[in-house]
Amino acid sequence: MTDGFALVKSPPVKEGAAWNWNKVGRTGTQEYFWLIAQDDQLPFSYISKKEFAERLKAYYQKKIKEAEANYTTNMKSAEEAYENLKKFNAAEATKFKEQSAVEYKRMLELEKKQYTKNITVVDNILKTDKALSEPAIIDNNKGYFEFEGFVEASHIYSRYAIKPNPAYFNPKLPKSSPQFMVLYYRVDTDPIFKVAREEFFKALDFASLKAMLGK
């Protein structure tokens, strides 16, 4: 909805031939994510505060136009319904038309008010933030609709905004050739699985996986 970016909890950490993205899973489990990439590069890049704010502003402006278009469409549909209803009951048709107009207007004003408030927030960021080149970190709990500004990485709901890195990919390679890999592993934290976990980690050969890239 915001033209090409995703959110991640934290930056991956380089460990040997892979990038590690470990996190705590559901109760009683531990989740492991590894990203295997070429030449120690990442297939994505972090979006700066400036770019993120500019994208959000364009997104909010687009949503206002969509709200206005939806209002026009809804009012047209209500008018058509009114014309059909008044053939049977003019009083009820008029009541329906009036109530529809009030409700659709309320919905329009509610959306416009929120998105206008959002635009004011991003405009203020673009004017006053002295660190616009830093990575954009947002409160994932509030998301885009209730966006109130950027947060610190230590925030409980912090998420980094990322986008694909075109410079990483080799367009000359066939689509059948992997250019990066993601390995996901979830295991029960119960002590009975301790040996299995240890044996699994010993068997992992990230160097061999990395050698398969670009082939």
What would the pLDDT profile of 88-144 be if each residue is shown by its tens digit?
Answer: 999 999 999 999 999 999 999 999 999 999 999 999 999 999 999 999 999 999 988
Nearest to 159 by CA among 132, 144, 139: 139
Confidence (pTM): 0.79
CB 73 within 8 A of CB 58: no
196-209 average pLDDT score:
87
Label residue 193 left, alpha or beta by phi (over 0 means left) and psi (-120 to 50 means alpha).
alpha
Q: What pLDDT, on a 0 to 100 scale, did the predictor assign at position 25?
A: 55
Map 21-39 to HEC letters. CCEECCCCEEEEEEEEEHH
Helix axis angle, 49-85 to 90-128, nearest 10°: 170
**What is the per-residue burial (b if ≥16 Cβ within 10 Å, else e) of 40-51?**
eebbbebbbbbb
Tokens read off for 165: 């890195």
Q: Give me the residue label for tokens 């590690």.
A: 20
Residue 145: band (very low, low, confident or very high) from pLDDT cuts 50, 70, 90: confident
Q: What pLDDT, on a 0 to 100 scale, did the predictor assign at position 201?
A: 84
CB 55 within 8 A of CB 2: yes
36-56 average pLDDT score:
92
Tokens read off for 40: 């120690």
Checking if the pLDDT of 23 tops 80, the result is: no
| Paired residues of 139 in beta bridges | 158
Checking if the pLDDT of 20 tops 70, the result is: yes
Mean pLDDT for the chain overall: 90
Checking if the pLDDT of 1 tops 80, the result is: no
Three-class DSSP category at 186: strand
Q: What is the DSSP string of 59-126?
A: HHHHHHHHHHHHHHHHHHHHHHHHHHHTTT-HHHHHHHHHHHHHHHHHHHHHHHHHHHHHHHHHHHHH
